[in-house]
Amino acid sequence: MNETLKNIAGRYSCRDFASTPLTIEQEKQLIDAALAAPSAVNRQPWRLIVVRDKALIDEMDAEGMAIMAADEDKTGYERMKARGGKLFYNAPFLVLILSDGSKWGALDSGILCQNIAIAAQSIGLATCMVGMAAIPLNGPNGASLQKRLGFPEGFHFAIGILAGTPLSGKDPHELDHGKVTYIS
């Protein structure tokens, strides 16, 4: 198996990061991989906000958990509590991927996110994609958070990805070949 396939096969969703910041070189490698992502008609309908301010990540984390705690349906909150009580798993690095809302914007943002995940795996970092970043970003203080983060006009949160040094490893999920239909 070649190195790219090994990195794809070895990637997992990390839920326990060390607080060690990424190096400038690691950050550059991840962002360059992101920006190399293909997009429909090469429109690149995204903007990236790189958050390395751990206090801000922790603030967003606490805000999201408080919103979930106040929700009538406690299912998501209880699941996050069982995983350590943090939306962002103590990660020191968060990339918020914003979309312009165009027809292919969400899909293109997902492709960009996957590029970051595979690049991180290839340089010894772990990742976790975090759609739940939408909770604080769209919550009661969401407009204020978006302003502080510098959301450009006309862009909205599509997906986020955490990266950092894992405190422990985890096996990738099992491949389910039953989800594949072959047409010959």
The CA distance from 135 to 123, in Å, is: 30
Residue-wise pLDDT for 74-120, tens only, equals: 898 899 888 888 999 999 999 999 999 999 999 999 999 999 999 99
19: Cα separation from own chain's centroid:
16
C-alpha–C-alpha distance, residues 57 and 17, integer Å = 13
Q: If pLDDT is split at 50, 70 and 90, which confidence band does 172 have?
A: confident
| pLDDT the model gives residue 83 | 85
Does 173 have pLDDT greater than 90? no
Closest CA to 163 of 135, 122, 134, 105: 122
pLDDT in tens, 117-143: 999 999 999 999 999 999 999 999 999
Confidence at residue 49, expressed as pLDDT on a 0 to 100 scale: 98
Q: What is the DSSP letter of 97?
A: E
Convert the pLDDT of each residue in 20-38 to its tens digit: 999 999 999 999 999 999 9
Domains of the chain: 17-165 (3.40.109.10)
pTM of the model: 0.93
